[in-house]
Amino acid sequence: MSRKVLVIAGDGIGPEIAVEARKVLDVANERFNLDIEFDEALLGGSAYDTVGVPLPDETLEKAKASDAILFGAIGGPKWDNNERHLRPEQGLLDIRSKLELFGNLRPAILYPQLADASSLKPEVVSGLDILIVRELTGGIYFGEPRGIRTLENGEREGYNTYKYSESEIERIARVAFEAAQKRSGKLCSVDKANVLEATVLWREVLDRMAPEYPDVELSHMYVDNAAMQLVRAPKQFDVLVTGNMFGDILSDAAAMLTGSIGMLPSASLDKNNRGMYEPCHGSAPDIAGQGKANPLAMILSAAMMLRYSLNAPEAADAIEAAVSSVLDQGLRTPDIFTEGDTLVNTSGMGEAVAVALKQ
Ligand code: IPM
Ligand code: MG
């Protein structure tokens, strides 16, 4: 059975890290007889430059015809003044929404070799292994009405709508409860129920569902406290579940606990576990084209893709082990470099993982 993977490199450092992920996947493909067929498509700024829209129809069609999508990053200052519907980010939001990729899994795992690269003390982060489950196709990112309007007094006003329906809350909560069941059984739901009605309902729905998962211990935390606890004592968490915007913010914070945002992969899944896999970091236009980008988040995203959408868990384990072994060898891109390590560039890191995977 062949497996179809669509690679969308995107903008900024996207193409550089996508090449490295492909190198690693090519080795996995051969070593584990995965029979993966690759195709490529445009999204974001590069799509806008080529065909005038950030999400071309062809990309969406190819995405729908694939078993999984591996995506780099989009965006950059070049397109910052585009109208909102022509911004690169809109292409990403549209593809997430049109493919109904509501379940975003963002694991933050500290590789022990990187304990010194974290901005937090090693004892605070050593052994860290948390999973942020972020709702990805609803909330304030998509709520209508939205816009910038002119008031009667001539002043302009920007507005967005934060809303979640019960069914949207329920389906992301199921993803989180099930993930917690497979892990330590601890689930913390993050909201702002002391202020926002949308999250009062969020909390209510989670509480209502909890008896269905007697093996999961559900707790609730306000998002401001969660942000503080993440940098104070992150190991108190196992699985966190939250809405789109809070998840965006908390996952960047969690990424830094692991040494670098360049280490954090993600999976965005639909109800059938078909998904798009992408590093949590952005397109880093300031370092694009310089060989400084860390390709590990994208390589680890490819591993998640093998595990969740392509039913190849051994290959996923092998890629993760290969990443760990290059870290053991002391190889580091600039973002995770500390005194005494061996500095490598983007392709040096990708190559080393590919070599380790061959062994
Ligand atoms: C992310 C990114 C995106 C988001 C941007 C690029 C639209 O920050 O995946 O976390 O906000 O979801
Ligand atoms: Mg983000």
Mutate to test the pocket of ligand 1, among 248, 278, 281, 283 (most ligand atoms within 8 A of CB): 248
Output the pLDDT for position 326.
98
Q: Cα separation of 146 and 142, whole Å? A: 9
Output the pLDDT for position 130.
97
Question: Residue with structure tokens 């795992």?
Answer: 109
Output the pLDDT for position 100.
97
Mutate to test the pocket of ligand 1, among 55, 89, 266, 276 (most ligand atoms within 8 A of CB): 89
Number of Cα atoms under 13 Å in the Cβ half of residue 90: 16
Amino acid letter, 224: D
Q: Cα separation of 244 and 121, whole Å? A: 29
Query: Average pLDDT of each block of 10 consecutive residues along the chain (359 residues)?
Result: 94 98 98 97 98 98 97 97 96 97 96 89 93 98 98 98 98 97 97 98 98 98 98 97 97 89 94 94 96 97 96 97 97 94 98 96
Per CATH, the homologous superfamily of domain 129-257 is Isopropylmalate Dehydrogenase (3.40.718.10)
For the chain, the structural domain boundaries read 1-102+272-359, 129-257
Please check whether residue 248 is in contact with residue 136, taking contact to mean a CB–CB distance below 8 angstroms.
no
Please check whether residue 72 is in contact with residue 302, taking contact to mean a CB–CB distance below 8 angstroms.
no
Of 111, 192, 308, 335, catalytic: 192
Output the pLDDT for position 260.
87
How far is C-alpha 217 from the chain's CA centre?
25
DSSP calls for 221-265: EEHHHHHHHHHH-GGG-SEEEE-HHHHHHHHHHHHHHTT-GGG--
Check: pTM over 0.85? Answer yes or no: yes
* Residue 343 alpha carbon to ligand 2 centre in Å: 27
Please check whether residue 277 is in contact with residue 264, taking contact to mean a CB–CB distance below 8 angstroms.
no
| CA-closest candidate to residue 301, choices 106, 153, 51 | 106
Output the pLDDT for position 90.
97
Q: What atom in ligand 1 is closest to the CA of residue 248? A: 10
Helices (H), 155-220: 166-182, 197-209
Q: Centre a 10 Å sphere on the Cβ of residue 149 and count the other Cβ atoms it contains.
A: 10
User: Ligand 1: which residues within 6 Å by Cβ?
Assistant: 75, 89, 92-93, 248, 280, 282
Say which residues have a Cβ less than 8 Å from residue 38's Cβ, sequence separation at least 6. 5, 6, 7, 22, 25
Question: Residue with structure tokens 């209510």?
Answer: 204
Is 252 among the catalytic positions?
yes
In degrees rounded to 5, what are phi and psi of residue 149? -125, 165
Output the pLDDT for position 117.
86
3.40.718.10, 3.40.50.2300, 3.40.190.10, 3.30.360.10: which CATH number matches 1-102+272-359? Answer: 3.40.718.10
Q: Cα separation of 333 and 339, whole Å? A: 12
Name the CA dihedral angle for 317, 318, 319, 321, rounded to a multiple of 10 degrees.
Answer: 90
Q: Cα separation of 238 and 243, whole Å? A: 17
